[in-house]
Amino acid sequence: TELAALGWIGMTWPVEFGGGGRPAIDRLIIGEELIAAGAPIAAMWFADRQMGPTLIAYGRPDQQAEFLPKILSGETTWCIGMSEPDAGSDLASLKTSAVRDGDHWLINGQKIWTSFGEVADFCYLICRTSTDGPAHAGISEIIVAMDTPGIEVRPIKDMTTNRHFCEVFFTDVRVPIINLVGVEGAAFKQTMRQLEHERGGIDRLVSNQALYRLAVDRADRSDPLIRQEIAALEIGYRIGRILVIREVLRQAPVGFSAATKCFCTEHEARVAAFVARVYGAEATLWDDVVRGLTYAPGYTIMGGTSNVMRNIIGERVLGLPR
């Protein structure tokens, strides 16, 4: 709510939706500084890179009036029900179903790796409302209140005892038909657009930048190999930042966010490897370092694996055959 009071949530939303109407570059700058300072910015993510743009683009006026103000104020927390045990990078393979039952959807299925699932007020659920036609058809997006009967949330404890991710089970969950967002059966494109926002953000580049600075201060910079590695990482950071800025200024071609995400998260993985070499066995003595290093393998997986990003670049950006 402090970020909301400063006008840093929904700062890029159009004024008519209660936003600041500010250019996207402002959000990049503020987000970069907040992450560098270790400040919590989840509310900014929900508003500016995930739920806000989606509801503004595809939500009905009544949905916008109901949900946007509380996203803007930081009062509500959201999760996205996307990945499944058998449908991660291949979203079109998802099986969680929503079947019409009078004036409700009857939802059954399972989601996994759901960020904030344990604390979320609402789930933005990507599910299958039809099995007819191609695999990517028949996918819809539905808003589900997380206190609805039939929902079970199981936190996933990682190596650092963090409970950031969850499994979410839906058993005969009844949700009003009016909670559908956008066009029924046409949500694959809506979801891809949401991922464009997510993949091209500055947070894909700077999440371990503070840890990197600590490692640089600790490193033996009299070693020419260390200096060479630091130089390469500094150059990589600047390249990644340029890619993100191009996304923000809409100077990149459609689908190019995959290249941005791929480069930036692989840069973060290289940073983690550098930190591990600098600290060596002593890394286990520092909680922040342990958390950063154990979390590092996920950088190139979250939001789409690097291999999937390369497929998108080849097929959608370069027009190469499958």
CA 294 to chain centre: 19
Structural domain contains residue 322: no
More confident site: 47 or 171: 171
The encoded tokens of residue 243 equal 């890619």
**Could you tell me if 247 and 310 lie in one domain?**
yes
More confident site: 290 or 177: 177
The one-letter code for the residue type at 74 is: G
Residue 321 clears pLDDT 90, i.e. is over it: no
Structural domain contains residue 188: no
The reported pLDDT for the residue numbered 256 is 78
- Strand-pairing partners, residue 108, are 97
Of the residues 150, 183, 216, the one at which a domain ends: 183
**Could you tell me if 143 and 245 lie in one domain?**
no
| Helix, coil or strand: residue 54 | helix
**Could you tell me if 64 and 102 lie in one domain?**
no
pLDDT band for position 61 (50/70/90)? very high
The reported pLDDT for the residue numbered 74 is 86
**Could you tell me if 204 and 313 lie in one domain?**
yes
**Could you tell me if 116 and 173 lie in one domain?**
yes
The reported pLDDT for the residue numbered 103 is 96
Cα separation, 174 vs 106, in Å, equals 5
The one-letter code for the residue type at 136 is: H
**Could you tell me if 310 and 211 lie in one domain?**
yes
**Number of Cα atoms under 13 Å in the Cβ half of residue 109:** 24
H or E element that contains 165: strand 165-176
Residue 87 clears pLDDT 70, i.e. is over it: yes
Residue 224 clears pLDDT 90, i.e. is over it: yes
Q: What percent of the chain has pLDDT over 90?
A: 41
The reported pLDDT for the residue numbered 177 is 97
pLDDT band for position 17 (50/70/90)? very high
User: Which of the residue ranges 47-51, 116-120, 123-127 would you say has the lowest mean pLDDT?
Assistant: 47-51
Structural domain contains residue 195: no
Of the residues 153, 183, 213, the one at which a domain ends: 183
What is the per-residue pLDDT across 168-186, written as a single tens digit (0 to 9) for each? 999 999 999 999 999 999 8
CB 54 within 8 A of CB 64: no
CB 129 within 8 A of CB 140: yes
The encoded tokens of residue 17 equal 């939706």
Residue 197 clears pLDDT 80, i.e. is over it: no
Cα separation, 122 vs 124, in Å, equals 7
Q: Write the DSSP assignment of 239-290 as a string of letters.
A: HHHHHHHHHHTT-SPTTTHHHHHHHHHHHHHHHHHHHHHHHGGGGGG-HHHH
Average of per-residue pLDDT values in the chain = 87
**Could you tell me if 159 and 215 lie in one domain?**
no
**Could you tell me if 254 and 238 lie in one domain?**
yes
Q: Decide: residue 261, CB within 10 A, 0-12 exposed, 13-18 middle, 19+ buried.
A: buried
CATH of the domain at 33: 1.10.540.10
The reported pLDDT for the residue numbered 249 is 81
Residues with Cβ within 8 Å of 118's Cβ and at least 6 positions away in sequence, in order, are 153, 155, 163, 166
**Could you tell me if 229 and 283 lie in one domain?**
yes
Structural domain contains residue 270: yes
Structural domain contains residue 37: yes
The reported pLDDT for the residue numbered 27 is 85
Cα separation, 150 vs 113, in Å, equals 19
Q: Look at the block and give the residue holding tokens 């191009």.
A: 246
The reported pLDDT for the residue numbered 81 is 93
Residues with catalytic function: 198
Structural domain contains residue 143: yes
CB 60 within 8 A of CB 142: no
The reported pLDDT for the residue numbered 198 is 65
Q: What percent of the chain has pLDDT over 70?
A: 95
The encoded tokens of residue 212 equal 């990197």
Structural domain contains residue 32: yes
Please say whether the dihedral angle defined by the alpha carbons of residues 28, 34, 37 and 38, taken in this order, is positive or negative.
negative
**Could you tell me if 234 and 257 lie in one domain?**
yes
Average pLDDT over every residue of 198-226: 84
What is the per-residue pLDDT across 250-283, written as a single tens digit (0 to 9) for each? 766 667 788 888 898 899 999 999 999 999 888 8
CATH of the domain at 148: 2.40.110.10
Q: How many domains does the chain have?
A: 3
pLDDT band for position 24 (50/70/90)? confident
Please say whether the dihedral angle defined by the alpha carbons of residues 112, 174, 189 and 61, taken in this order, is positive or negative.
negative
User: Which of the residue ranges 43-47, 58-62, 96-100, 122-126 would you say has the lowest mean pLDDT?
Assistant: 43-47
The reported pLDDT for the residue numbered 313 is 83
| Helix, coil or strand: residue 160 | coil
Structural domain contains residue 89: yes
Of the residues 158, 183, 208, the one at which a domain ends: 183
Full-model pTM: 0.85
**Could you tell me if 6 and 21 lie in one domain?**
yes
Residue 219 clears pLDDT 80, i.e. is over it: yes
Average pLDDT over every residue of 129-140: 86
**Could you tell me if 307 and 224 lie in one domain?**
yes
Range of the domain at 32: 2-76
Cα separation, 100 vs 179, in Å, equals 12
Of 150, 142, 175, 157, nearest to 58 by C-alpha is 142
Please provide the size of the chain in residues.
Answer: 322
Residues with Cβ within 8 Å of 293's Cβ and at least 6 positions away in sequence, in order, are 272, 275, 276, 283
